[in-house]
Amino acid sequence: MTEHPTSHEDRQPRAARPASPADPRGALLRSPDAPDCPDAPDSRDGTEAPDATAAAAQSGERPGRARTAAALPAQGGPGDGGAEHRKTGPGDSSAPDAHRPRPGAQAGAGRGVPVQPGGEPAGTGSRPEEVPPVPPVPPGPPPSDADTERRGGDRLRFVGAATRRIARGIDLDEIVMGLCRATVPTFSDAILVYLRDPLPVGDERPVGPVVLRLRRTDRIPDEIDDTVSDGGSLLPALSVQPDPSPAAELCEVQLGGALAEVLRGVRPVFGDSPAARAALPELLGGEHALPAGRRAILAPLRGRRRVIGAAVFLRRPERPAFEPDDLLVAAQLATHTALGIDKAVLYGREAYIADELQRTMLPETLPQPTGVRLASRYLPAAETARVGGDWYDAIPLPGSRVALVVGDVMGHSMTSAAIMGQLRTTAQTLAGLDLPPQEVLHHLDEQAQRLGTDRMATCLYAVYDPVAHRITIANAGHPPPVLLHIGGRAEVLRVPAGAPIGVGGVDFEAVELDAPAGATLLLYTDGLVESRLRDVWTGIEMLRERLAATAELTGHDHSPPLEALCDEVLDMLGPGDRDDDIALLAARFDGIAPSDVAYWHLDPEDSAPSRARRLARRALARWDLEELTDSVELLVSEVVTNAVRYASRPITLRLLRTDVLRCEVGDDVPQLPRLRQARADDEGGRGLYLVNRMARRWGATRLSTGKVVWFELNRG
């Protein structure tokens, strides 16, 4: 006979009471042969009752807690196997362990054996394969209160471990992978994760249709999948690769459709519910077959403000179906995943903003001034701190000179980057005024004090003159530069240390040094030479030795390539050596030979233009550039005429022969000329128009003593 367990407090049969959502009995802790129904036939003496169960199946009555093999085809699903609970005494040592997989079922075991589509037990004639890693439930009477509490605790421990694994991810891929690895195969045999494309960020209100993109799929590996019976294959069309085929990659959610209704409801639903039966084909595509029964869960992923995707959990037919408590587990996993994805998207946006900010604060490309070659590097302090206060710059100056700047604002945060951007802009403006290096640092110090009392920075400002082969350096508390000579000798330049920018009330000194042709000057920030493992002077000595060793590898007759030299310098940093961001600027001094320079002083008188044409013609003949004579004479005459008209002191004229021919005319008037369109009856105003049309480039730069107007012509 069939007996229903009863309670001392409630004499109704268990099947008549509503299922509690907090009941911990779920698919996680049930055997591969566990039933789908809450009630099971039982016998007090521990024997099976096949006659009663078969009779229940024939009469249409609901079978007990565990269905027999013969009753399963009548329930409408192949593979919906059950498990029988065998009653054991307290002294029975042969009782199976609830947490250890059963070694298998023998032929004709009845209710404890999965049934294949043909109707025969899976264990007939062969040992059935186990589906890891869910432990089976021992046969016997319904679980006691202690078993219920233990299984509820196991379920809570699984949810805690899964959510911790999901929370460990910091970017989008890590979080989605954490969800997949935490649920397969413990909770499901396969999972599909769909996310909105594009993902909304923060308070953004997406426009247009909602499109879900398959972000990742995962399932039990093929070597395990191949061991199951033919009736146990699970969606063979699904790809196990992170990047699925384009055919099943996108899904556009139709307004008012079944999928939209499920996503709007937020709560997970079983795959056999009416809403999911219409929504899953829309999400997966009509060609994908789904397992029968409660072996699929569709869980919407809702972030802080809106649904951002969906997850589909799937089980094979031979595995126990999902239970109502599994909806709570799926809801917890979906919630933690969605919130983690929201955080990852926000973090990604912040990292993108930080990268763009740092990139715009630093030079996009370095200039190519005459007589010097440049190379640079920048490394952030860490992947989580991508912005900092380190910067470098190279600013062309009048007279073919170039200003080399490197600085370091204390800290590596958004505030430091903002202050660095203001100081760099100020330095560029001061360099355009052609101020001496010590004056530039003095004005930077005043600007830092205007920004705030705690705005501190170090800076090194140098001006290289390729004609004079000299360099002038002023320092504000920055590490000294290193000069690598062409013979392989590396020396730390002795420059006044100075006080950091922002201290106020200090005087800065400048020193002028030789800059021989072929030498390399290395400017850097303290992140390259200072760390928790060494002090700054030890790091500077290591840098000097590294430069000398690199120069020996390339020989004493020529200098190492600049780009390779920068890489070699950065290679001196070992694991744990970098605590700060690094800015590196290398300058190779080529210089301009004296034979390629012609320089004259002209009195501001009416005869100056004709004398300038004559001197330029002689210089071009000496350089074998006679083909440029007509153009140079015309443009020199126009520029010198404008200078004579307003100048009160002698005018300078200089010709430089490099890869181009450059002409510079200087006077003592600070006002810069402006290009304008002359009218038909104007007697003047066409000089700069001719220069603009005929020259390769031209410009005017204000100096502390006046201005310089220059133009360039291509050679040959």
Burial class (CB in 10 A: 0-12, 13-18, 19+), 706: buried
Residue range 20-31, pLDDT digits in tens: 333 433 333 333
**Alpha-carbon gap, residue 654 to 665, rounded angstroms:** 7
Q: Are the CB atoms for 506 and 546 separated by under 8 Å?
A: no
Distance, first Cα to last Cα, the chain: 111
Q: Closest Cα to residue 137, out of 21, 294, 26, 19?
A: 26
Average pLDDT over residues 428-439: 90
**What domains lie within the chain, and their CATH numbers?**
1-141 (no CATH), 149-350 (3.30.450.40), 362-589 (3.60.40.10), 594-714 (3.30.565.10)
Q: Are the CB atoms for 444 and 423 separated by under 8 Å?
A: yes
pLDDT of residue 652: 94
What confidence tier does 85 reach under pLDDT thresholds 50, 70, 90? very low
**Alpha-carbon gap, residue 604 to 706, rounded angstroms:** 14
Any idea which residue has 């080399």 for tokens?
A: 404
Residue range 495-518, pLDDT digits in tens: 998 999 998 888 899 999 999 999
Q: What does R_g of the chain's alpha carbons equal in angstroms?
A: 41
Tokens found for residue 123: 């264990």
Helix or strand or coil: residue 102? coil
Helix or strand or coil: residue 93? coil
Tokens found for residue 150: 């233990």
Q: Are the CB atoms for 361 and 390 separated by under 8 Å?
A: no
**Alpha-carbon gap, residue 619 to 597, rounded angstroms:** 9
Is the pLDDT confidence value at 260 over 80?
yes
Cα dihedral 198/203/207/211 (nearest 10): 30
pLDDT of residue 641: 92
Residue 175 main-chain phi, psi, to 5 deg: -70, -45
Cβ neighbours of residue 277 under 8 Å, at least 6 residues apart?
Answer: 271
Is the pLDDT confidence value at 311 over 80?
yes
**Alpha-carbon gap, residue 624 to 417, rounded angstroms:** 51
Residue range 567-588, pLDDT digits in tens: 999 988 876 667 788 999 999 9
Cβ neighbours of residue 128 under 8 Å, at least 6 residues apart?
Answer: 104, 105, 113, 114, 122
What confidence tier does 713 reach under pLDDT thresholds 50, 70, 90? very high
Residue range 680-707, pLDDT digits in tens: 666 666 788 889 889 998 988 888 788 9
Q: Are the CB atoms for 347 and 550 separated by under 8 Å?
A: no
- The rounded percent of the chain whose pLDDT value lies above 90 is 34
CA distances from 340 to 53, 77, 185, 343, 662 (A): 48, 38, 22, 5, 60
Beta strands in 422-487 (DSSP E): 457-465, 470-476, 482-484
Tokens found for residue 371: 């007589």
